[in-house]
Structure 1
Amino acid sequence: MSAKQPVESTRCTRAGVNENACPGHFLNIYELERVGLSVEEIKKAIIEFASNSKKTRFYFKDMEKAVQEKIPAAKAREIKKAASELVNEGTLIYFSTGSTTMYGLKERCASDEPQQ
């Protein structure tokens, strides 16, 4: 098994230091766009995962793993921001069980909710 090589597009912008050498610095949305990774790409990957998922509701970690398989340079923080934007737009919805929060694609989860 070979060691994981750092992805060039995830380099830290602080003085050109590799992000592995600067673990406390996360790339923000503007920095992601500079390295060629847009929030829209992350949103598309989230929607694709949510549409193709066997379950209508899923944990953030499952969504994060699926997005990072498609876009290795995407960090958890940026995936969370993109997911929050999708919730604000009404594409995704939150589910809270009291102890944990799950996400779901609004159109797939509408049939799960009791009608009022």
Structure 2
Amino acid sequence: MEVTCDVCGKSFTIDVQIREREYKGEKVREHYFTHWECGTEYTGYYETAETKHLSEERKRIRDDVQLASRLGNEEEVRKLVKMDKKLKKQQLGIKKELEKYFKERGQNDR
């Protein structure tokens, strides 16, 4: 996938890397990529037991949305979409919390 660096403005192809970290005794897998030319680092997401569970729940909900949509159950679709948004908000909250934690400890190269 080709992206543009926010820092130097040059385009580059991403090569996703994974590194393991620790947060409050829990293993965290950080999925990130680095612009090889200027060294800017981007974190795609953090994977913890909780975020993995949330991702699985969101996948189940998306599958249910497709089924409800095919059956013409718009009320169920709206309910499921609302649930998905809530779970996505939880995921983003966890990502922000982890970014802050690692940045405060000088463990963020970005």
Identify whether the pair has TM-score above 0.5, normalized to the shorter chain.
Answer: no
Q: Which has a greater percent of strand?
A: 2
Q: Which has the larger radius of gyration?
A: 2
